[in-house]
Structure 1
């Protein structure tokens, strides 16, 4: 049995540039992907001088959030070929670089 692997035609794209918000706002960060197989989609948060921290995973039919990133504030749903991250009640501590990533399921 051969393991599924990412290939050259598998892509993930995020909107470039800064997203600005006022405290308390709901912010949506876009992530679109193209793949020929069923995928796990991940979101990571990287603070200044820090390493990327796992936030959440989504796949068709489910997913989970890291304990630090509660679902009532950090949520995402796979919708066709996108998995936008929604941050509710934005706070100063949410300032960071966010990455989405794709992995074979």
Structure 2
């Protein structure tokens, strides 16, 4: 059976123009049981930036899937899902795909706050 993975509306959380993220493919069509790798290219200002993946099923809100830091640390992982990151790309691999994996997948870049802010009186 053919399943469609609509890929990767890339999001950028934060307002710094030096940080960008965008998908390598807009849509992928695969067969059930295949392994698939979804990828986003990114550029980031800080090595502490966190890359996130979300998925959205039809007629549902987006749901958080996982995060991965540029150093490779991750949140807990859903079954059959594994992330990878290098200096310019973040991948999400789904093994043994099922029809239930058909969804819209989002990649997002979230910088962590590194500045010191003054208290306002």
TM-score range, shorter chain: 0.7 to 0.9
CA deviation string 1:47-83 (max 9, x = no partner): 11111111111011411135xx22xx11111111111
1:9 aligns with 18
Which ranges of structure 1 fall in alignment gaps of 5 or more residues? none
Is 1:55 aligned to 2:65, yes or no? Answer: yes
Larger mean CA deviation between 28-37 and 12-21 belongs to 12-21
Report the CA distance between 1:6 and its aligned residue: 4.2
2:54 aligns with 44
2:100 aligns with 93
In the TM superposition, structure 1's runs of 4+ consecutive aligned residues that sit over 4 Å from their partners are: none
Q: Which has the larger radius of gyration?
A: 2
Measure the CA separation in 1 of the matches of 2:63 and 2:72.
Answer: 23
2:41 aligns with 32
Q: Are the equivalent residues in 2 in contact too, given 1:6–1:104 (CA < 8 A)?
A: no
2:7 aligns with none
Report the CA distance between 1:15 and its aligned residue: 2.5
With normalisation by structure 2, the TM-score equals 0.74
Report the CA distance between 1:21 and its aligned residue: 1.0
Q: 1:74 aligns with which of 71, 74, 81?
A: 81
Which ranges of structure 2 fall in alignment gaps of 5 or more residues? 1-13, 113-121
Measure the CA separation in 2 of the matches of 1:87 and 1:80.
Answer: 21
Matched position secondary structure for 1:50: coil
Measure the CA separation in 1 of the matches of 2:110 and 2:15.
Answer: 7
